[in-house]
Amino acid sequence: MSKGDNRLKILYVLDELQQNTKQKSDTQEDRFLSATALISVLNNKYGLTADRKSVYNYIESLIKYGYDIEKSRRGYYLREHYTEEDKNVFEEAELKMIVDALTSCRFISASKTASIIHKLGTLSQESSEYLTNRRVYYDQAIKSDNSSVIYSIDAIYHAINTNKKITFKYQKMVVNFEHVTGHLTSVNKVNDDHVEKLYCESPYALVWKNEYYYVICYDSLTQAPRTFRVDRMKDVQVDEHSSREGESCFENMSIMEYANTAFSMYGGETINILLRVKKDMADVIADRFGKNITIYQDDNDQFFRCSVNVQKSLQFYSWLSGFGSDIELVYPVALREDYLHYLESVLQDYRSHERISQV
């Protein structure tokens, strides 16, 4: 056996990791190459000597260079291939992640979800049934019943890119009763004369927020931004004979800042507020407002204070009341008093219905 070139050791290690990644493994353990196995390959296949410290150094150098190598007590696994042949091919883990995301996505209907997953199955190196049957658990009732959402999104993007308006009908939930019991169903909103209302808006941005897609538009009637949930939009069409209005309204606007201040994407007056928050609620604050907010110390070391922007709305009050005394509205005083009136009115309504009949 001819002796290999010591300068190529790291490339031999990379080659072995790539070859191992391409092989189908029966178990999780089989996916990984241990340091001992790599030392053996260098010795037996290339006639080179190496120790464990050298292998560790090669792996660290490959990671620094950009290779996605998973390290564990079992050894090393290269998650991605970097050959011309493989770089545009979905990995199994990537396909499975997409399937899980589609399954739990609220705004895509169950039928459209199943259709897309079936198509993804044709890209899988495993059997298509294996990928199709991989599902995260989710509540079927939360899935949208609007199967045209992805086409609505496509039309909105086209309108934004071509500077056109869109027309659409907008749905709301209503209760239909059959004798004593009933069910919820979606219907198109109507005008005062009970004719289905046709909206005509100038779209400027699509935002994915709180598990739903929203389109932020300029409304020519109110001359202000207006937000619509895409899964509630029906018959979305691009008005090819129009031009968008309201460009100046969005010139200096941060779309994500606007989205973060709009609770449940309902518009309202934007106000800077000060919250007193229990430290255990830090995750809640980060999820709602992001991490780039101003934080202050509180007199009680179990709490902190933060300054954030919100849009004054009942949705904000509802969100705030859900945390009781763990999150307190401190400032501005006028908003705090308005919030107290909101809580008192809710309590008064409950007290006035204490003897409500129970089914």
Question: Tokens 């919100």 correspond to what residue?
Answer: 310
pTM over cut 0.75: no
Q: Residue-wise over 166-182: b if at least 16 C-beta within 10 A, else e? A: bbbbbbeeeeeeeeeee
Which residues contact residue 14 at a Cβ distance below 8 angstroms, ignoring those fewer than 6 apart? 62, 67, 78
What pLDDT sits at residue 55? 86
Q: Which of 44, 102, 37, 110 is nearest to 75 (CA)?
A: 37
- The rounded Cα 22 to chain-centroid distance in angstroms is 31
Distance CA 135, CA 121 (A): 13
pLDDT tens digit at each of 359 positions of the chain: 445 567 788 888 888 888 887 665 544 456 788 888 888 888 888 888 888 888 888 888 888 887 888 887 788 888 765 455 556 667 776 777 777 777 767 677 777 877 887 788 777 666 556 555 555 555 555 566 666 788 888 899 899 999 999 999 998 877 666 666 566 677 888 888 888 999 999 999 888 876 778 899 999 988 888 889 888 899 999 999 999 998 888 887 777 777 766 655 566 677 888 999 888 888 788 777 777 778 888 888 888 888 888 887 888 888 898 898 899 999 999 999 999 999 998 888 888 766 655 55
For residue 38, give the H/E element and its range: helix 35-46
Residue 1: per-residue pLDDT: 43
**Looking at residue 48, what is its pLDDT?**
83
Q: Which residue, 265, 200, 188, is CA-closest to 233? A: 188
